Structure 1
Amino acid sequence: MNVTYASYLKVDELISLQHCLSDGPEHDELLFITIHQVYELWFQQLLHEGSKLVHLLGENRLNQAQHTLKRMLKILKTMVNQVDILDTMTPLEFLSFRKFLSNSSGFQSYQFRELEYFLGKKDRRFMTQFKEEPEILAKLEKRLQAPSLWREFLGMLLQRGFAIPAEVIEAPIDEPTKESVELQALLLDVYRHHSDLAGLCESLVDLDEGLQEWRYRHVKMVQRTIGSKSGTGGSAGAEYLKTTLFQPLFSDLWTIRSQF
């Protein structure tokens, strides 16, 4: 079989997946669907790169791990830039098809929840909205019970002989990452005496900042589009999203900034 550009990328199938529900349909619904489908593709890619990153950390291949983190950050930057496109949609343009979204909501993006769990923001409450979808629940449970990226990073330090505090290593794996004063002292030593590991720490900070930037732009986009209205699916919209801001994933790496 001759492989062509269209057959390799499944272009016909790909461009048939945008099903508008509005009457007409409304012009801007296609943009809304396209942007969010692309987000899901990027979430998939971030999870794919994250799996490779964990493997590289386990093998102590720091240069390759740095490279993978750099790629993940570039993906996050691209996701932020996509918000600029959504910002071209006025409130009236969104309102023209909003009712057809029915109970669907971005809160139902299970891949984003997987990504949050992978990055250490673990909260079992997020799973309740998928109680009627056992396959999705199984994916989320698997992520919940797997070590976060931060735990994998600390595991690499442990393999290299660093004395990671027992309170950190023995913490329940399905709970969110918590700060540790003892760990912060160790990280300060890493920064001062191990430049290769310090560089990796900075890349994790970059990743953390990248996700926070995406959250912020997402909040402002929602405020710009629907103001203080409730979100689709009965969510609290921008008011809830604001509560997710400025919550770092790797808080120990931020706290030590004032201790150098």
Structure 2
Amino acid sequence: MGNKRDIEPSIERDFSSQMSYGDYLRLDLLLAAQQPQSEPQLHDELLFIVQHQTSELWLKLMVHELRSARSLLAHDELAPALKRLARIKHIQRTLTDQWSVLATLTPSEYAEIRPFLATSSGFQSAQYREVEFLLGNKDADMVKVFDHDPSARDELATLLTEPSLYDEFLAYLARRGYAVPADVLDRDVTLPHTSSTGLIDVFAEVYAAPDAHWGVYETCEELVDVEDNFQQWRFRHLQVVQRVIGHKTGTGGSSGVSFLRRALDLTFFPELYEVRSRIGG
């Protein structure tokens, strides 16, 4: 009747002894976690906090999926690993799209809240570093940044010594009979992966006959998608920072835009890009 939808009789109403939506999601904790530091509270500080907290939640899920994909590859379970990568790509797109919300913050609005950030910075995101380590961008110096947080430091120190997702993919290829160079398989995994001509040869064989190597070929393209998405995230981050603060130094002490721009030169899977120069003669 009228512009109204009646609540169906079967819908639960009494949660005095049952789990509710809010109970399951711990919304009491989640929605109390936004604690602006400005006094009186500045309108735009909540945007800044929510933007970064939601990013951390998506990063948590991405770490979960990357760990699973890595483990599946280590156990020769390629198909479910590809499913994990497909989900990771959607997470990445969501993270990149979120920058458009923060981009609504004008330089004047950000200048008001910046003093309340003190020395906090996204550079200090342990989960972001976990994602980088899992993808292969290892840096022992980065672990030291988290000496103030022993749990985060120890997690990164462990990931530093473990194979990356790419390392496990290359080990999978070797077990399948592909001629992955021994020095690639036996490399020091605490260091970033560097390009191997012998590995480019392996991928050239795959790309020359995709149908004969379909699972591996598909995985290569999924990894390229992941890196491409990561670079889009980095570039969008740079754009938003430049739009909001120009070329000022970052709150964490970095040079800001120029520091972010140098990250665009980093690569996770160099051979998967270099092999493209060989395709089609």
Tell me which of 35, 48, 58 is aligned to 2:64.
48
> Which one has a larger percent helix, Structure 1 or Structure 2?
1
Which whole-Å CA distance do the structure 1 matches of 2:272 and 2:165 have between them? 14
Answer whether contact 1:80 1:214 (CA < 8 A) is retained: yes
Which whole-Å CA distance do the structure 1 matches of 2:173 and 2:260 have between them? 34
Answer whether contact 1:228 1:237 (CA < 8 A) is retained: yes
How far is the alpha carbon of 1:61 from its aligned partner?
2.5
Q: TM-score, normalised by structure 1?
A: 0.97
In our comparison, the structure showing a higher alpha carbon Rg is 2
Tell me which of 188, 200, 203 is aligned to 1:184.
200
* Structure 1 stretches lacking a partner, 5+ long: none
Alignment-derived partner of residue 44 in structure 2: 28
Alignment-derived partner of residue 3 in structure 2: none
Which letter does structure 2 place at the counterpart of 1:157? Answer: L
How far is the alpha carbon of 1:57 from its aligned partner?
1.3
Answer whether contact 1:105 1:235 (CA < 8 A) is retained: no
Deviates further, 153-162 or 127-136: 127-136
Which letter does structure 1 place at the counterpart of 2:247? Answer: S
Which whole-Å CA distance do the structure 1 matches of 2:213 and 2:23 have between them? 48
- How large is the Cα RMSD of the aligned pairs? 1.1
Answer whether contact 1:53 1:68 (CA < 8 A) is retained: yes
Asked if residue 97 in structure 1 is aligned to residue 113 in structure 2, the reply is yes
Which letter does structure 1 place at the counterpart of 2:79? Answer: N
Which whole-Å CA distance do the structure 1 matches of 2:79 and 2:154 have between them? 33
Answer whether contact 1:35 1:82 (CA < 8 A) is retained: yes
How far is the alpha carbon of 1:237 from its aligned partner?
1.1
How far is the alpha carbon of 1:238 from its aligned partner?
1.1
Asked if residue 254 in structure 1 is aligned to residue 273 in structure 2, the reply is yes
What does residue range 102-141 of structure 1 map to in structure 2 within 5 Å? 102-141=118-157
Matched positions, count: 260
Alignment-derived partner of residue 10 in structure 2: none
Which whole-Å CA distance do the structure 2 matches of 1:225 and 1:194 have between them? 47
Which whole-Å CA distance do the structure 1 matches of 2:253 and 2:273 have between them? 34
Deviates further, 9-18 or 157-166: 157-166
Alignment-derived partner of residue 238 in structure 1: 257
Which whole-Å CA distance do the structure 2 matches of 1:69 and 1:212 have between them? 16
* Structure 2 stretches lacking a partner, 5+ long: 1-16
Which whole-Å CA distance do the structure 1 matches of 2:197 and 2:82 have between them? 26
How far is the alpha carbon of 1:59 from its aligned partner?
2.9
